[in-house]
Amino acid sequence: YIPMDFARSNGLNNRRCNMILIDIKKRTWPVTLRHKGTHVSIGCGLREFFIANGLKEGDAFKFELIEKGEKPIVKFTFEGSAPEAIASTSTLEDHPYFLSTVKPHSLKWNKFHIPMDFARSNGLSNRHCEMILIDHKHRPWPVELRHEAFHVYIGRGWREFRNANALKEGDHFKFELIEKGDKPIVNFI
């Protein structure tokens, strides 16, 4: 699926059309853009694109819309295999995010640690407050953002979020801060 916020802000929601993907070798791949309910996805042609480019589950890539017209054009840039933590300062929507995997300690101790560099640069360090996690089904989950010593983490509410989304060790996710205010809001997809 294409993240709905990205689709909305770039006029891709509610569209069914042909689309062009451009790979790192500048080859073009015809695919279809589909909209169904609350989801936008790339259909026919995507599998061939992934196979030809050696992409597999867990690989990280950048999805850059370079032409919005009748037939949108998207440039894919490979970012790495099974990222441990790839930090970025912004997306096209200027929302800071990082990519990572679920670690064993997040399951054992029922705490989700946020990288300190990310927390500091986005005003999340030294805070005790409620935070909202939005899952891949667009459901909001109230959790507690905490800090102690040199750690920033999500405590209360993490276990429920994790269990409801069947997260397990090694699962890849994107942690995207979409609102920084008194009650930060994060897309956790």
Q: Where are the domains of the chain?
A: 4-80, 85-188
Q: Is 85-188 the same fold as 4-80?
A: yes
Which pLDDT does position 84 carry in this prediction?
40
Among 188, 189, 121, CA closest to 154:
188
> Which strand ranges, in their side-by-side order, compose the sheet holding 97-101?
85-88, 97-101, 172-179, 185-188, 129-134, 140-148, 151-154, 112-114
Domain formed by 4-80, architecture? Beta Barrel (2.40)
In tens digits, the chain (189 residues) has pLDDT values of 787 778 888 888 888 999 999 988 888 989 999 988 778 888 888 888 888 877 776 666 777 888 888 999 988 877 655 434 444 444 444 688 888 888 888 888 889 999 988 898 899 988 999 999 999 888 899 999 999 878 899 999 999 999 999 999 888 899 999 988 889 999 998
For residue 58, the model assigns a pLDDT of 63
pTM of the model: 0.52
Other C-beta atoms within 10 Å of 16: how many?
11
Domain 85-188 carries which CATH code? 2.40.330.10
Residue 80 has a pLDDT of 58
Res 185: pLDDT: 93
